Each structure stands twice: as C-alpha cells, then as structure tokens.
Amino acid sequence: MRDTQQSINETADKQVRTLEVVIVGAGFAGMYMLHRLRELGVSTRVYETGSGVGGTWYWNRYPGARCDVESMQYSYQFSDELQQEWEWPEKYSPQADILDYANHVADRFDLRRDIQFNTRIVSAIFNEKTKKWNIKTDDGEQILANFCVMATGCLSSTNLPKFKGLHVFKGKTYHTGQWPHETVDFDGMKVGVIGTGSSAIQSIPMFASQADQLYVFQRTPNYTIPARNAFLDPEEVKVIKADYSGLRARAKTKPSGYDLPIPTRAALETSSEDRLQEFESKWENGGVAFMASFKDLLFDKDANDTAAEFIRKKIRETVKDPKIANLLSPNNVIGCKRLCVDTGYWETFNRSNVSLIDVSNHPIETITENGLITDGREYLLDAIVFATGFDAMTGALLNIDIRGRSGLKLKDKWSGGPKTYLGLSTADFPNLFTITGPGSPSVLTNMLPSIEQHVEWISDCIMHMLTNGIKCIEATQDAEDDWVEHVNEVADLSLRSTCSSWYVGANIEGKARVFMPYIGGFPRYVEKCEKVVANNYEGFVTN
Ligand code: N01
C-alpha cells in the first residue's frame, strides 16, 4: 500500500500524460485495439518494447520461422478492403511475410503516430480514489489512464533456463524468441541447439544446412507433421476472396476458429485399414490438421496411441540410423504438447554434420568457455541457440508490476495460477483487460480471430461505459471463481491437460501447474461472452 501511495505522489510531481486507454504491446492485438478505439474517437496510445510492430513476428526472426495456420486465415478480417488487397504468396507464411503484413496494416491505418516504440511498461497501479491507472514506462514517463489493455501476447516472455556457467561461454548465444535483426551466419561453425519444440524443429534444418557441425541437445522428443508448404494458387485465392466472409463465418463455427473439417469418425470405431488410410491422407496433406483425423484422438488414450504409433513408424522409415530414430520417437500423448509442423526435420538427422545428443537422463551439467558438458563429455561449440520456449500466457503480464485494489499485486493473486473471468478481466483489477488472456481460447485457436473477438468485446464494453457514464467495470469474485472452475473442468476432459507442457506452466521452474487456456472451443466461448453482454455485463460490477 505504501508503494502505491509513493507511486501516486511521484506521478503528481512529474508531467503526466492523460489518456482514456493505454494499450501495452503492438502485436496484432495491440494494433487492432488501437485502430478500433481510434475509430470510436477514444484517446489511446500503444506502448511497445520493440522498435516495430508485429509482436511475435517481430521477435521470432529465427531462420525457418513460419506460421502453421494457413495465411488466408491467419490474417485480420475486420477490413474487407484489407483482406481483398493483401496478397499472401505462400500457403503457410514465413515470418518475414507476416511482418510485412503487420507493417502494411500499420501504414494503411496510420497506426504508428499513436504507437510509442522502444518503450517498456514497467508498472501499472490502480488508484482507488481517482479510479485511474498510473502507468510507468522504463524511461520514467508516467501516464494516467481510465483503462489499461494488456496486448502483451501469450508467447512473448522468453524462457532461458538458468544453466550453470552460462556467462562464461566465449562464443555467441541466441534465443529463438529474441533473434537478432542482422543475418546470423553459422557457416563453418560448430553450433549447439538446446530444445526440440516448435521453434527448434523449424530452425534445425536451416542451421544444419549452414553449420559445419550441428549438435541438437534433446530432452524430450516431439511429434511433428510435415507442413507441405506451397505457393498459393492464384485461382484458389480468387475463389476464397470471392467469398471471404463465408470462409470467416465457417471458421467461427469451429472449435479452433480455423476452418478445418471437423472429424466425425472415432479412430477406435474405424477398421485399422481405414484408419491407416485416413492418417496417410492427413499426413500427405500436412500440417496441424493431422489431429483432425478422428474425433477421439484427444479424448481417448487408446485412440491417441494409434496416431502416435503412425508417426513413430514414419520416423523409423525416414531416419536411417535406428538408434537415432528411436531417440527421436516420442512416447507420450500426441497433441498433448503443441503439435509441431516442420519442413525436413527428421531428414536432417540423416546428415553427416548433425548429431542428436540425448540429455533426458544426463541434463546439461554446465556451459563452459568453449561449449557445454553433458554426461561427462564436453561439446566444443562456437554458438549456442536456446530454443527453450516461453513463460507462456502469464509471463509477459507478470513481468509488469500490476497492482489493483488495496495494492494487490497480480503476481501474488496469480501465485497459484492465473485466475480470470473469461480471460478478459480479473477481480480486484478494475478497468484492466487482457487480450487473449489465460482462461480464454487463445493459443488453442487461430490467434487472429480470437484477438479480433476480444478487441471488439473490449472496445464495445468501453464504449458502453463511456456512453452510460460508467467509470469502473470489474469482474466479481463469484463470476471469476465459476469461470476458473469451468476452465479446469473442461480441461480435465481432454488428454491435453495430462502432460508437462507450457499449457500447464510445467516448463517454468516454480510455476503453478494449471491448464491455462480455455479448451471449450471458440463458438462456445464467444456465445458465453455475448450472453454476458446481453445480460448487462453479467458477472461484472459496474459503477
Ligand atoms: O518452445 P517449447 P518453442 N535442458 O517450450 C527444451 C509456438 N510456436 O519456442 O520438452 C534441455 O515448445 C524443452 O524440453 P522439454 C507454439 O505454440 C509456434 O519451441 O521441456 N532442454 C523443449 O524441447 C509452440 O508450442 C510456431 O523436455 C530444455 C524446448 O526446450 C510455442 O510457440 C513456431 C531445457 C522448448 O520448447 C513454444 O515453442 C514456433 C533444459 N534445461 C513456436 N529447458 C508455429 O507457428 C527447456 N528445454 C509453427
């Protein structure tokens, strides 16, 4: 409480900017939030740590970074002109194309004049007397705002495990989630990659084609499906654009918010011959749609085993050395951790300059001046790439000192796992909104429609308040408790909650183990959000 008062006093001493809404982050969420609020005539400013727009796609510039949702769907739908004029070259866009798109959107809607780049928000403290948020930047600027919208991203706070000796390494180090803007050339170098998640699986084939020697340090093998990326056929694009709204509407009826066929058959009720044929066909088409082969894959372990074994067989067929094939073969639930999508991943392990080092039983002991040691052997390295992921869903929020009523710290409130109402709001933190926050479908869906749905819900809410003279909106404790219970209940129905993934916070030491996203599906979630509004913001108190 003393800190809160102190901060308010400091605020009074300096020149303070006042705004209706502060938005934190200029990724796809923050950009659309800004555009939408500006259109409604609300004074708004975005604060962004990076020097450009694009969020995830600004930071994750590692070679091979590519989206695994089709470009025609991984894009905004709020402006038909925008979706008609923009030309995506490839079925699955590489990072550079998505960043170009983000920049185009920023220019087209003249967003930059209200985005403050190279600025990190370090604290946001609610003043109960004035009902305003006191927000501070890392360069000491202070802002008073009625609303604070966190567009901080679900996978934006990088995770660098505390490896012993990290600081003594003389070579270069990189994190896939904070890749340099300059070209990184591994030509002639000995490179080590730590991790075998999506980022590693996309970048390893690229590193292998450059480096003299590539060592892949794998703790847990992962399932991956070939992307089978291709250039888009202009005729197909024309057909989609002729009825873009039809595609968008169909997508909204799907649990993933992504227009993929919904499986009707159960793997265990299908003959093994037909089942194999279906897996083969999905495998040939490539991408995350593999999990849509059968409806029971994520609900029945025996069904899941049939898909897992299909992939293991593919690994054995592709990787020439049976020992390496065996090491690369996961034995856990497929789709429990986020399914990966690759281009030439397993084939890479047939190259003579690539070595797979199993660190599952022999963790990396220490990083040394010249490499790293595991299982008593030192691997000499010129560069180390940490493909070690993110403090997902809560990391970016909790990196900011956010305090609500009575100085309550969000960090303390969420010490046992995030608690929200609809992933949009959290009790005791009035007028604070989270776009695709924990407890919303977010990372289990196509992010773009989920972002748009949240931005529209939040902006409608703010407009409702401004036009009705309402100063404060806040989730009730009861509504939040009920929602958290529901989020947990539905999570327990799926095999997805059964493994040590970032979905449950298991990748971060000391993080509470809670399944964070809402698994009930996009349509059901949207219906709930709409019902809340129809019932005059049911579950919120307004005053
Ligand atoms: O991170 P991860 P990521 N010693 O957390 C290993 C999205 N994404 O950046 O599994 C050794 O998945 C860790 O091992 P283990 C997507 O949602 C999307 O790859 O914990 N290893 C794991 O192998 C994805 O799921 C796209 O045993 C250590 C790896 O590091 C999410 O981002 C592309 C270790 C981390 O994998 C995160 O993916 C890229 C240690 N001490 C990312 N600590 C697309 O759209 C960690 N690891 C395609």
CA of 393 relative to ligand 1 center, distance in Å: 14
CA of 419 relative to ligand 1 center, distance in Å: 24
- Distance (Å, whole) CA 276 – CA 534: 47
| pLDDT less than 50: residues of the chain | 1-12
CB of 342 closer than 8 Å to CB of 224: yes
Residue nearest to atom 8 of ligand 1 (CA): 198
What's residue 8's pLDDT? 44
Pocket test for ligand 1, best of 66, 71, 199 (most atoms within 8 A of CB): 199
CA of 199 relative to ligand 1 center, distance in Å: 6
CB of 142 closer than 8 Å to CB of 119: no
What's residue 10's pLDDT? 47
Sign of the dihedral through C-alpha 296, 302, 306, 309: positive
Residue nearest to atom 11 of ligand 1 (CA): 219
What's residue 339's pLDDT? 97
CA of 153 relative to ligand 1 center, distance in Å: 16
- Distance (Å, whole) CA 256 – CA 504: 19
Q: Which atom of ligand 1 is the closest one to the Cα of 69?
A: 45
- Distance (Å, whole) CA 24 – CA 31: 10
The binding-site residues of ligand 1, defined as CB within 6 angstroms of any ligand atom, are 66-68, 155, 161, 176, 194-200, 202, 217, 219-220, 338, 341, 359, 364, 387-390, 502, 507
What's residue 1's pLDDT? 37
What's residue 13's pLDDT? 52
CA of 385 relative to ligand 1 center, distance in Å: 12
Residue nearest to atom 9 of ligand 1 (CA): 389
Where is 522: in which H helix or E strand? Answer: helix 522-534
